[in-house]
Amino acid sequence: MPYPRAVRGSKPLHSLVLLVLLLPALLAAATVPDALTYNRTQSLATLDIIERLGRHHYARVSVDDALSERLLESYLRNLDPGRNVFLASDIEEFRRLRHALDDQLLGGDPGAGFTIYRRYDERLRARLSQLITDLPQTIRSMDFTTDEVLIFDRDALDWPADAREADEIWRKQIKSSVLGLKLAGKTIDDIEQLLLKRYRDQLRRMTQVNSDDVYQLYMNSFTALFDPHTNYLSPRSSENFNMSMRLSLEGIGAVLQQDDEFTRVARLVPGGPAARHGELKPSDRIVAVGQENAGELTDVVGWRLDDVVDLIRGKPGTTVRMEIVRGSGAAEQHRTIAIVRERVKLEEQAAKSRVLELPVGDTVHRVGVIDVPAFYADFEAMQRGDPDYRSTTRDVARLLDELQDQRVEGIVIDLRDNGGGSLQEAHALTGLFIESGPTVQIRHSNERVERKQKFRDGAYYAGPLLVLINRLSASASEIFAGAIQDYERGLVVGSPSFGKGTVQSLSPLNHGQLKLTESKFYRISGDSTQHRGVLPDIELPSLYDVAEVGESALDNALPWDRIDPVRHRNYQDIASLLPSLREWHAARANQDPELRHLREEIELEHRYAAIQTVSLSESVRLAERERRRQEELAIENRLRTAKGLALLASPDDLESAPADGAELADEDTETDADSDEQDAPDPLLTESGRILLDAIRLGERLAASD
């Protein structure tokens, strides 16, 4: 059978001879009865995956020696991200196969993945068994006065040279866990029982790993080399994925992902219980889960992602409690939160409006704000022929009319944290702001370019417009923001968007499913939204570190590129306005207390996030924590001084004192969460409104001078 297009690789004879010589030594275990071996069904699935990637994936990736080397390193990193399980001798042995993995896969043989996993299984089981035996004595012999440091990001370090070096890495990691739990208020007895249970659970769960689990891990290490959104789903994962799609609007409304041994919050579903609750944040690590408002929390460190999801998922109306860890090292904070599971109603995800009142001198100016949390449409109602079905475009059109009736001077479309959704809605929403013309280009893997076009068949809003984006504005949000920017229809402000400019399709295999990237979005200017995202005309402080969040932070992300532009109209000369607008913004940013406060908080957070080590001395850790708390207090008091509010006496007052100086409500007083959220200071939105007013004033001045 010929190799598929774009995956054919050549192999010199000496490499094939080396493969034959090495296989008996490294793959002998595959010939003995063992549950962790591949089967014929998985072999056929391997051939199917390679064939589909070659025919349909957007990128042209060759399955050759270079990819084989990358596959080995990717798989080792996925298995042992902390570089504390394998020894250097294991890695040296595995790397003898670095030019053989491609030939094996092209022949339908994923056996090396199982061989490497069995060594991992052997090492980690032995380690966990030893930890369980020694843990009580280990904890009680710990000296928290010694000046030791743990490097918690070992990605760039070598694997331990021998068992003694590995023992030292594990000792420090356990000591750091014990110290963190101790400083979180747990007793030594409680810590011992918690860690014993954690390691016993991990050991028990290792015995439950089956052939499909290993195969999925190995094949995903392979497919991720094409791009980070191309994944293989085993039959169990496919079932969970399909269920999550059907029940995507039920639960707590959080998208979770695996982060080494932790489950991390990737993002929150707009309008979902977690987003409205307000305490769960992106990048929080979930370390324990419990049911209802009382009872024991189950430690989930080291658990598989789908098993953690099973614990968090539940019937609407029930409560899930989660212990979360935020930050690391001196900034590490433990807290327990309870969220009532609910079905996310379309109304809660729907676009909402408000009027922003901004004083300029003696005049109060009114700017309309439309918050668009997602690009949605009620497809079931649409298919039923319901003339009143809900969609982003329909809701925004109604809100535009309402805001114009209130005589606002301009409109801000707030796309912060909007992760995308319906491409059709992004296209249709653009049509509310342009008279006619193309909105987006889609280039498929066969190089055919498709264009979405608005015709002169409907009214559009012609007034002043600004689009506010941030690092979590992705996909459909980037299509809309990019079109508004390319037409020079309005200003785009905020921080660079996510950069997710690819389209995936899901296809069934004989064993599981394959999700692969088949198309790429391009703006009408010809620029891709991929990797680079949409760059704002005026940049505002970013809450997210662009080095850690976004497409560019993902391994093997497809690159930015461009295709031919499409002829289109320019509504304004935005470029001529930008020097003055940026100058006025910079002057305000230096004077406005809320913007200064936000910038200082972001700088503090990024500074601590960049620290890659943590002290194992209790006194040092406490001193670092207190120094961080004092820095936070100083930042808050500078804001309060600027606003004429009473200063806080200690860091303990930070969480209890409202920034606006209002009296605290009684515990029994009910508050409207949505109202509280709207009334809370939003310096980025306020500054966006001011920038829009500047643009209106400047545009009027230029028009009068013509």
* Active-site residue (options: 175, 454, 500, 520): 500
How crowded is residue 11: how many other Cβ atoms within 10 Å of its Cβ?
16
Q: Is 186 a catalytic residue?
A: no
Pick from 319, 308, 297, 298: nearest CA to 255: 308
What three-state secondary structure class fits 232?
strand
Return the sign of the alpha-carbon dihedral for residues 391, 397, 402, 408. positive
Give the 3-state secondary structure of residue 275. Answer: helix
112-150 in b/e form (b: 16+ CB < 10 A) is: bbbbbbbbbbebbeebbeebbeebeebbeebebeeebeb
Give the amino acid at 277. H
| Rounded distance between C-alpha atoms, residue 412 and residue 466, angstroms | 5
Of the candidates 347, 177, 178, 161, the one whose C-alpha atom is nearest the C-alpha of residue 249 is: 347
Can you tell me whether residue 528 is helix, strand or coil?
strand
450 vs 438: CA distance, rounded Å: 10
CA distance 329 to 269: 29
Among the listed residues 456, 541, 429, the one whose alpha carbon sits nearest the alpha carbon of residue 494: 541
Torsion sign (Cα): 475, 476, 482, 486: positive
Q: 222-260 burial string, b = 16+ CB within 10 Å, else e?
A: bbbbbbbbbbbbbeebbebbeeeeeeebbbbbbbbebee
Q: How distant, in Å, are the alpha carbons of 76, 213, 502, 577, 667 from that of 590? A: 48, 54, 38, 21, 38
- Amino acid residing at 338: A
3-state secondary structure string across 530-566:
CCCCCCCCEECCCCCCCCCCCHHHCCCCCCCCECCCC
Tokens 């090495």, residue located: 22
CB contact at 8 A, 38 and 114: yes
CA dihedral 375, 380, 382, 388 (to 10 degrees): -90
Q: How far apart are CA 37 and CA 212, in angstroms?
A: 9
Q: CA quadruple 179, 184, 185, 186: dihedral positive or negative? A: negative
φ, ψ of residue 252 in degrees (nearest 5)? -100, -10
Known catalytic membership, residue 486: yes
Which sign, positive or negative, has the C-alpha torsion 536, 538, 539, 540?
negative
Gap between the Cα atoms of 105 and 47, Å rounded: 7
Do residues 337 and 277 touch, judged by C-beta distance below 8 A? yes
Structure tokens at 136: 């009580």
Task: Pick the catalytic residue from 90, 227, 486, 682.
Answer: 486
Instruction: Cite the DSSP H helix spans in 406-473.
Output: 423-430
Residue 202 CA to residue 300 CA, distance in Å, equals 9
* Active-site pick, 43, 221, 238, 475: 475
Q: Which residues, other chains included, contact 416 with Cβ-Cβ below 8 Å and sequence gap of 6+?
A: 468, 469, 470, 472, 473, 494, 684
Q: Active-site positions? A: 475, 486, 500
